[in-house]
């Protein structure tokens, strides 16, 4: 059995809305090249899915009318009535505009996440990472938040249909994992746990602590919406405290986690003020949880992250380094300001519009502390206590 598999589908690079869109798949290439520079991505760890996405599985999450509209709008010259229906399905706005070939690339992303889940559930790999995945905002009947097909929901549905396993979905993206929550809102065998910036100020506006599931799934939805300008200590306190209680309640057979890295202070699409430290610590906590509760079964997906130069490659590399237990991790833990490879920096600084950081973690001693830190921390603690009380 492999300790960790790195799933990569080349067609995911074709998931491009337009050149100036914040969703930029160069982050996948940058991450792979960074890992290669530190000899952390051997060829035998990389797995490329060979099978297309099963259409029946796609229909287990999305309605047929939506799928057909996506297919038709993927053509070089879409026709009526699909052009006029694009808005109905969330595909004609700047946020998630339709583009040529979007069905093929979105289906490839979903196929990658299903393949990662199959590697783990079949026992071929203990852990599997698919950074192209994590498109958690897509809804059954529409695209949203840069997401066409909800690959996370599709992968979980595959696990449920083929293995009957009890799933804990953990979402660390700064935006609430609304699409996955909705997919399993009434399912008592799928727990969803999302920590995110409060929807009072941020897309998609959902994820209140009072959202707890419905019907047989009541109590299986857990949300921790934190305050804007939350910093590392408070974010990690909330995440770790509630995670442990969720694990005790859920008792999962497998963990599926989403690792959007847009809670960083440099991300342009949120208001959280965390550093790279949370992207070292959260994977460590999830990794330990997988071994404590799931015999190691852990499927990790990518997600948001819109500072592709200074944040995403480091954050996602740290995730893989934890998952694969690479030796450089101990060096980073001893020396948080360990230098990034000079060859990688030289390669990407040529394209980057901003100076690249040259260390694995951030030197937060240079950062100005947030005003209202104590007030923000206390508000977050209150939310954590409320979320935890709902689990009892």
Active site includes 127? no
Q: Is the Cβ–Cβ distance between 100 and 74 less than 8 Å?
A: yes
For the four alpha carbons of 12, 117, 154 and 309, in that order, the dihedral sign comes to negative
CA atoms within 13 A on the CB side of 270: 33
Q: Is the Cβ–Cβ distance between 97 and 137 less than 8 Å?
A: no
CA atoms within 13 A on the CB side of 93: 13
Beta-carbon contacts of residue 103 (< 8 Å; ≥ 6 apart): 67, 70, 71, 74, 148
Backbone angles phi, psi at 273, to 5 degrees: -120, 50
CA angle 255, 260, 262 (to 5 degrees): 150
For the four alpha carbons of 141, 142, 147 and 149, in that order, the dihedral sign comes to positive
Strands 254-258 and 298-301 come out as parallel
Q: How far is CA 292 from the centre of its chain?
A: 22
How many angstroms separate the CA atoms of 7 and 109, rounded?
10
Helix (H, G, I), strand (E, B) or coil at 229: coil
How many angstroms separate the CA atoms of 336 and 239, rounded?
21
How many angstroms separate the CA atoms of 228 and 196, rounded?
10
Q: Which two tokens stand for residue 194?
A: 């999302």
Residue 101's alpha-carbon distances to 13, 74, 78, 106, 133, in angstroms, are 11, 5, 11, 9, 17
| Active-site choice (47, 137, 158, 287) | 137
CA angle 122, 127, 131 (to 5 degrees): 110
How many angstroms separate the CA atoms of 205 and 87, rounded?
20
Q: Is the Cβ–Cβ distance between 194 and 185 less than 8 Å?
A: no
As annotated, the active-site residues are: 137
């Amino acid at each position: 059995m492999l300790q960790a598999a790195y799933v990569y589908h080349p067609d995911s690079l074709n998931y491009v809305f337009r050149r100036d869109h914040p969703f930029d798949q160069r982050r996948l290439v940058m991450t792979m090249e960074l890992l290669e520079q530190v000899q952390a991505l051997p060829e035998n760890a990389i797995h490329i899915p060979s099978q297309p996405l099963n259409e029946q599985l796609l229909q287990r999450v999305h309605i047929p009318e939506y799928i057909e509209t996506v297919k038709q709008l993927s053509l070089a010259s879409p026709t009526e009535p699909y052009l006029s229906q694009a808005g109905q399905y969330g595909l004609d706005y700047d946020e998630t505009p339709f583009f040529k070939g979007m069905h093929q690339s979105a289906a490839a992303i979903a196929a990658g996440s299903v393949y990662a889940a199959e590697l783990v559930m079949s026992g071929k790999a203990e852990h599997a990472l698919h950074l192209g995945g994590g498109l958690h905002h897509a809804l059954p009947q529409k695209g949203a938040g840069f997401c066409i097909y909800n690959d996370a929901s599709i992968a979980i549905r595959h696990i449920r249909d083929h293995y009957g396993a009890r799933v804990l979905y953990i979402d660390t993206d700064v935006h609430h994992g609304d699409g996955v929550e909705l997919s399993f809102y009434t399912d008592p065998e799928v727990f969803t746990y999302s920590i995110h910036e409060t929807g009072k100020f941020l897309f998609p506006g959902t994820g209140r602590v009072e959202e707890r599931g419905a019907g047989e799934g009541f109590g299986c939805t857990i949300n921790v919406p934190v305050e804007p300008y939350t910093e590392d200590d408070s974010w990690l306190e909330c995440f770790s405290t509630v995670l442990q209680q969720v694990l005790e309640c859920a008792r999962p057979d497998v963990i599926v986690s989403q690792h959007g890295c847009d809670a960083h202070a440099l991300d342009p699409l949120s208001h959280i003020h965390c550093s790279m430290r949370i992207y070292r610590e959260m994977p460590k906590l999830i990794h330990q949880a997988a071994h404590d509760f799931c015999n190691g079964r852990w499927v990790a997906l990518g997600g948001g992250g819109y500072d592709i130069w200074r944040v995403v490659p480091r954050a996602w590399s740290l995730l893989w380094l934890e998952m694969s237990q690479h030796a450089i991790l101990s060096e980073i833990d001893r020396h948080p300001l360990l230098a990034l490879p000079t060859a990688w920096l030289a390669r990407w600084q040529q394209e980057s519009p901003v100076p690249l950081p040259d260390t694995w973690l951030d030197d937060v001693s240079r950062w100005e502390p947030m005003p209202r830190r104590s007030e923000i921390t206390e508000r977050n603690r209150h939310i954590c206590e409320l979320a935890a009380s709902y689990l009892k």
